[in-house]
Structure 1
Amino acid sequence: MSEGSVSASKVRLLTAAILLGTFLVPVNSTMITVGLGTISHSFGETLAQTSWIITIYLIVMAATQPVAGKLGDIFGYKRMFLTGIALSLAGAVLCAFAFNLPSMIVFRSMQALGGALALPSGTALIRHAVPKEQMASVFGLFGLLMGLGAAVGPLAGSFLIEAWGWQAIFWINLPFLLASFLAALFVMPATPTRKTPVDLLGSLYLALGLSLIVLFITHAETIHWWSVLLLLGCLVLFFFREKGIPHPLIEFGLFRSRSYRSANLAVLTSNFIMYGTILVLPLLLQERGVDLRMIGTLMFVYSLAMSFSSWLGGQLSKKLGHAKMIGLAFGVQLLSALLYLGFAQQVAIWYIACALLIGGLGSGAGLPAMQTASLEAVSPEKTGVASGVFSTFRYMGSMVASALTSLMLGSLFYVMIGVAVAGMLLALQMKNADQQKALSPHEPA
């Protein structure tokens, strides 16, 4: 299907269907955090044991998205998107009926698998159905809703649990997922399928390797000499497996494109700064004795600024170009990281709010340009796997920040400064690649 072959009204309905379904991925990721205490009490488990409900969600989302993107390329994005929404719906219903912690972990895995299948196929469909000149704007709206979802999740979760119990945070998924499924079923165009074999062995190596990385980051007690060797073995086996088969799960040749490589590394570094801010600031402010409600308000300011700037970044990216927009975003993040250094002293609430406002603007502004640049750097038939890889890089940035937070809480802001500078250099690389492509349009940049 060629780009722009869908009418304007159907593009709007298609975009709404995709956004409605994928919006719940960050909501479900953050909403569960406020329910852990209630769920642990209900099941008679410790809070540490119940935290596996969050860990399993991260593992499944990180480990399966590259595979899910490839499946979309092979079997069609509409089919995989509908499958993902259906799995998310079934997982949410089963979570509401979970009778103990193991059953909750299994059903939560199903919910995460649904989100992992839907997300890359949804973004790939945007690439195929939305005209190129509108793509950055749509991804800006996509980033706006994803940011709002992460921000609204804990607030909505606390209200639902207080009113109807922890089961309500799963039941709330039903109307949104049903609407997304029905809209996608009737509006979403079919995309070409390819008779290409699925690399099951490579998928297993990659999924196990990424799962171990998440475990090492979230549960340090799982790090042993044998588990580290297992991780290295999985990664080595995956690399040589993919290099030696005709239809690899991830084509490493894609990373020869500077635009593609830089866009993926940019989202990793940007998410590192964003997630580091979300994790470190509440801890530092609690040490200062700041009221929890005030901390929640300040972090909501950050999330709201990030969501708004994501939409704005999508609009500006069309005028400035992807590379300039990404460079500008990292420049703003650099400014915010420098302002965060002031938190080492006793500073006023207005100073904290301003620093977080600037940080939120920088964290969201470049995301649509990164997503669009990543997809435009690959051929249309590889859009699914490119979307899955992009999502995995995004998750890896968040998880690295999570790991470093516990190791170097007091000095993480200095790391953020260095990462922001690295991001600006990546944007410069993208700009040079764009210029080279303009001079030699038939050569990969």
Structure 2
Amino acid sequence: MTMTTTPDATADKLDRGVLKVAGVVVLGAIMAILDVTVVSVALPTFQREFHASYATVAWTMTAYTLALATVIPVTGWAADRFGTKRLYLTSIALFVAGSALCSAAWDIGPLIAFRTLQGLGGGMLMPLGMTIMTRAAGPDRIGRVMAVLGVPMLLGPIGGPILGGWLIETASWHWIFLINVPIGAVAFLASLRILPKDQPRPSESFDFLGMLLLSPGLALFLYGVSSIPGAGTVAAAKVLIPALIGLALVVGFVAHALRKDHPLLDLGLFANRNLAVAVITMTLFSVAFMGSMLLFPSYFLQVRGQSTLNAGLLLAPQGLGAMLTMPVAGRLTDKIGPGKLVLGGIVLIAAGMGAFTQVTADSSYVLLLGSLFVLGMGMGMTMMPIMSAALASLVDHQIARGSTMMNIVQQTAGSIGTAVMSVILTNQVQHSPAATVYSAVTQGLVPVKQVAPSLLAQGRSALAGAFGHTYLIALILIALCIVPALFLPRRRIEKAEQQPEDVAVPVSIH
């Protein structure tokens, strides 16, 4: 008995080789994800340094996002054609080169251009990392490796504002980019040494028409969506025109992909029930949760008057809650499937979000931080088990395409959620004259001495109410995630049988 159970128990754990691969991938993911949130806190600094408007400096974020949307669809094909290791090393090199150039930018225009180069590298890091880890660990341990990869995805939005605020306050804005250079160098050397060798394999022809439809389609759609907060309405021409053109190109890609044998994005993967349900769940979840993530630091900054550094520190309980549940959820996903865990996670997120729907200008920090902790626990039980549900039942040659699809869904839905929540909050503020005045004061547009203390107090309370209403919309969207989550597997996912020609080459760890 002992002889037969021991190997299984050993194989069930993440061995040293897989942990090394996971460490390399997490290092690259942290670098890319932190960069997004670090730059977000530097926008006011860019305004002052380059004497530019907020709409102009916001392009440092938008250009990065659009570059991601352009390159992610190509990642699945490129990984099959050139190998994941080669492509991963190229991605790190592009990201580090873009970071170094950003730190040397002399004006806002060059900075935006260099951010685009960063995005081209950063866009491939997450889908490639998911592919590498999934292949290294195998289907029986995918929940655990997804839990490892989930750490930077959760800590990025929390650690980014802290790191960005500290670097800007103690050094200069250049260091939010320069810090990527040594991290990237370590990640590159570690990847070169540790990641499995690429195995040459026949590749299907590249879908040029699919790329010409999908990549610009996603970029134009996300550009239109990201323009919603600035326009204040969906009906504005600068929102509708690019969004509709982008949507038309995406629809054109779908029609093309359904007819082509080897399209850029394999829509045939939706025949896999687990992946289809996971995509629907991830779409709703990303719209609701990623959008609301934007609101937490904004509340602490605008309503409570905290500094950027303090606002980042106040978000730490969310990361701690996620770190508590994520490893456990990863192990349980491999054993009992993701369904029950995701449902439990959504309930916890809803409970934490519910407290923020009642937020006031003077809500107890104990209540707020406790709610963030509960919300983080729910997050640790939700996002990566959904990813596991999508990828665990795919055969080896489908993994790169599946991870690419999930990253497109997450990026697109997250951008929609961020835009939607921003517009809801902005409209709520605009409906209250007192909140409008107070918001202008917090942004430095109106000197505080010119506003009566009674109006400031009234505006602060009204602004808190606007946040509470926006959190209520997020709560409703979170609750809607329960519907598709009910169809996620509630027992261990069995990997599909591979056809003889699709048998994976064994992964060797160097």
TM-score of the aligned structures, taking structure 1 as reference length: 0.89
Aligned to 2:245: 230
The Cα shift of 1:12 comes to 2.3
- Offset, 1:289: 4.2
Label 1:37 to 1:414 Cα distance change in 2 as closer, same or farther (>3 A).
closer
Measured against aligned partners, the alpha-carbon deviations of 1:127-150 in whole angstroms (never above 9, x if no partner) come to 111143332222212111332233
Give, in angstroms, the shift of residue 338 of structure 1.
2.9
Bigger mean CA offset, 423-432 vs 223-232: 223-232
TM-fit CA distance, 1:285:
5.2
Asked if 1:427 is matched to 2:478, the reply is no
Give the letter aligned to residue 248 of structure 1: P
Does the aligned pair in 2 maintain the 1:148–1:307 contact within 8 Å? no
Structure-2 residue corresponding to 1:188: 195
Partners of 1:8 and 1:352 in 2: CA distance: 39
Shift of 1:8: 3.6
Aligned-partner residue type, residue 214 of structure 1: L
Of the structure 1 ranges 108-117 and 274-283, higher mean CA displacement relative to structure 2 is found in 274-283
Change (3 A) 1:368 1:77: same
Letter in 1 for 2:113: V
**Which among 225, 247, 265 is matched to residue 250 of structure 1?**
265
Change in Cα spacing, 1:85 to 1:295, as seen in structure 2 (3 Å) is closer
User: In the alignment, residue 258 of structure 1 is paired with which amino acid?
Assistant: R
Does the alignment pair 1:216 with 2:231? no
Distance in 1 between the 2:407 and 2:52 partners? 32
What's the counterpart of residue 373 of structure 2?
Answer: 357
Q: Which residue of 1 aligns with 2:392?
A: 376
Output one character per residue of 1:353-382: Cα deviation in whole Å (capped at 9) or x when no partner.
222221121122222211222112322112
Q: 1:276 aligns with which of 279, 286, 291?
A: 291
Shift of 1:272: 2.8
Q: CA deviation at 1:84?
A: 0.5
Aligned partner of 1:264: which letter?
Answer: V
Partner residue, 1:324: 340
* Contact 1:81–1:119 (CA under 8 A) maintained in structure 2: no
Q: 1:8 and 1:110, CA in 2 relative to 1: closer, same or farther beyond 3 A?
A: same
TM-score, normalised with respect to structure 2: 0.78
Q: Which residue of 2 aligns with 1:309?
A: 325
Residue 227 of structure 2 is aligned to residue 169 of structure 1: no
In percent, how many aligned pairs have the same letter? Answer: 24
Unaligned regions of 5+ residues in structure 1, if any? none
Paired with 2:361 and 2:255, the residues of 1 have a C-alpha distance of 51
* Corresponding residue for residue 88 of structure 2: 81
2:193 match: secondary structure: helix
The one-letter code of the counterpart of 2:423 is L
Pair 1:95–1:66, CA change in 2 (3 A): same
Match 1:110 to one of 104, 112, 117: 117
Query: Structure 1 residues 166, 282: CA separation in 2 closer, same or farther (over 3 Å shift)?
Result: closer
RMSD over aligned CA atoms reads 2.7
Q: In the TM superposition, what are the counterparts of 1:3-18 in structure 2 within 5 Å?
A: 8-18=15-25
Give the superposition deviation at 1:332. 1.4
Are 2:210 and 2:264, in contact at CA under 8 Å, matched by a contact in 1?
A: yes
Shift of 1:183: 1.5
Tell me the alpha carbon deviations over residues 233-266 of structure 1, each in whole angstroms, 9 at most, x when there is no partner: 3123212221222210112221122210121222
Q: Which amino acid aligns with 1:234?
A: L
Letter in 2 for 1:422: L
Are the equivalent residues in 2 in contact too, given 1:65–1:392 (CA < 8 A)?
Answer: yes
Question: Any conservation in 2 of the 1:298–1:356 contact (CA below 8 Å)?
Answer: no
Secondary structure at 2:411's aligned position in 1?
A: helix
Max Rg structure: 2
- Residue 169 of structure 1 and its aligned partner are, at CA, apart by 1.3
- Is this contact kept in 2: 1:266–1:423, CA < 8 A? yes
Q: What SS is found at the alignment partner of 2:342? A: helix
What per-residue deviation string (whole Å, max 9, x for no partner) do you get for residues 194-221 of structure 1? Answer: 3211212211211212112221222134
Match of 1:94 among 92, 96, 101: 101
Give the secondary structure class of the aligned counterpart of 1:429: coil
- How far, CA to CA, are the matches of 2:225 and 2:311 in structure 1? 25
Q: How does 1:15-164 map to 2 (within 5 A)?
A: 15-164=22-171
What are the Cα deviations for residues 44-86 of structure 1, in whole angstroms up to 9, with x where unaligned? 3223211100111111223321221231123211111111111
Structure 2 unmatched runs, 5+: 1-10, 232-236, 426-465, 499-510
Compute the displacement of 1:165 (Å): 1.7
Other-structure match for 2:417? 401
Q: Residue 315 of structure 2 aligns to a residue in which SS?
A: helix
